[in-house]
Amino acid sequence: MIQHDVPLVRLNTFKLPCVAERYLALTDLRQLEGPEFKQAPELVLGGGSNMLLLDQVPGLTVHVSLGGVQLLTPVPVRKTSSSLDTGTLIVRVAAGVDWNQFVRYTLDQGWYGFENLILIPGTVGAAPVQNIGAYGAEIAERIEAVHVWEYGIGVRVLTPEECEFGYRDSRFKQEPGRFLITAVDFRLNGKHELKTGYGAIQTELARLKIDNPTPNDVALAVTNIRRSKLPDWFFLGNSGSFFKNPVVPMSVHNRLKTEYEDLPSYPINPGHVKLPAGWLIERAGLKGMRNEAVGTYEKQALVLVNHGSATGREVLNFSESVQAGVLTKFGVELEREVQVLGVSTV
């Protein structure tokens, strides 16, 4: 049933005031056969993270609320009380399932592979769009298939290759308005293959005095790191990392390294290097900066926060000032990670 003029302030993690002109909760796949899905809605809403909403979303907003987790392959036989055999598990998860709750569920079940991606806000259906990643892991590494509704065509199942995943990117992001994700099949392991090479994880594990970590130990370390650096959106509105870490030519990196010896960097290939956007913002003197209700988070410059009464336009304007400051200081352009949606009414 379509509702009209529905407030979305509680349905986006930035807590920005926004009104959906028309709103429909998708709770059953059979709804996709209705006339509302002959063409793409203006907004497909999951957990409301990784987006910046302006005053109004014209047209139809579809809130994907599909639930359910299904194991498609048998659970491996336990060898001991604390380990599983090395069987691969294929798990189908509906698009409306909360991502963090799903990750915690996999750990409880002994299904491993997502421990580095714990505590990321949003839903399962939104995760492939952004190809979410953190602390050395990306969701694309574990995707077996993505189930979609293609507007004007119908049900399709896309392979990982067809999804065209890249760094914080995918076909879904590049072709907005073509697909609605209904479920994702993930490939997980009964025996863990830990990724602990990220420096912050190693530091936290050492602080916890853990020499031989389990997946739950890695999840604990990541949880501690994220909570120490990132605000809880329930108390302080935000969308997590607002900007992508820029990938620059080696010549740009070498130029900056001669001037800033402590510049962190992560080689991507022989000709390009990834730079931490948070470091650039902080060294530009913008960490903790505030303009009325909008600011950079005092503990992590990469995060923009709503101190309580910000509008989407105010956040957007503030983000542009941060981009300008980094460009002036370093000659490096920052690209927004969040999507800007809706229109301003003033």
- The catalytic residue among 42, 138, 204, 337 is 337
- The catalytic residue among 49, 65, 241, 319 is 241
- The catalytic residue among 22, 142, 168, 313 is 168
65 has catalytic annotation = no
83 has catalytic annotation = no
In a domain, 49, yes or no: no
CATH number, position 277: 3.90.78.10
- Same domain assignment for residues 163 and 258: no
**Separation between Cα atoms, residue 346 and residue 232, nearest integer Å:** 30
DSSP letter, residue 76: P
Residues 6+ apart with CB under 8 A from 210: 217, 221
| Domains contained in the chain, number | 2
Confidence of residue 168 (pLDDT cuts 50, 70, 90): confident
Which residue is it, tokens 């590049």?
A: 174
In a domain, 56, yes or no: no
187 has catalytic annotation = no
User: Domain range holding 185?
Assistant: 69-189
Burial of 295 (0-12, 13-18, 19+ CB in 10 A): buried
Q: How many CB atoms lie within 10 A of CB 212?
A: 7
- Same domain assignment for residues 185 and 242: no
CATH number, position 84: 3.30.465.10
pLDDT in tens, 71-87: 997 654 444 434 444 57
Which pLDDT belongs to residue 276?
95
In a domain, 143, yes or no: yes
pLDDT in tens, 288-320: 999 999 999 999 999 999 999 999 999 999 999
**Separation between Cα atoms, residue 302 and residue 282, nearest integer Å:** 8
**Separation between Cα atoms, residue 190 and residue 203, nearest integer Å:** 26
In a domain, 203, yes or no: no
**Separation between Cα atoms, residue 39 and residue 178, nearest integer Å:** 8
pLDDT in tens, 110-125: 999 999 999 999 999 9
DSSP letter, residue 112: B
In a domain, 173, yes or no: yes
Given a contact cutoff of 8 angstroms between Cβ atoms, the answer to whether 93 and 124 are in contact is yes
**Separation between Cα atoms, residue 267 and residue 162, nearest integer Å:** 26
**Separation between Cα atoms, residue 18 and residue 53, nearest integer Å:** 6
Q: Is the pTM of this model over 0.75?
A: yes
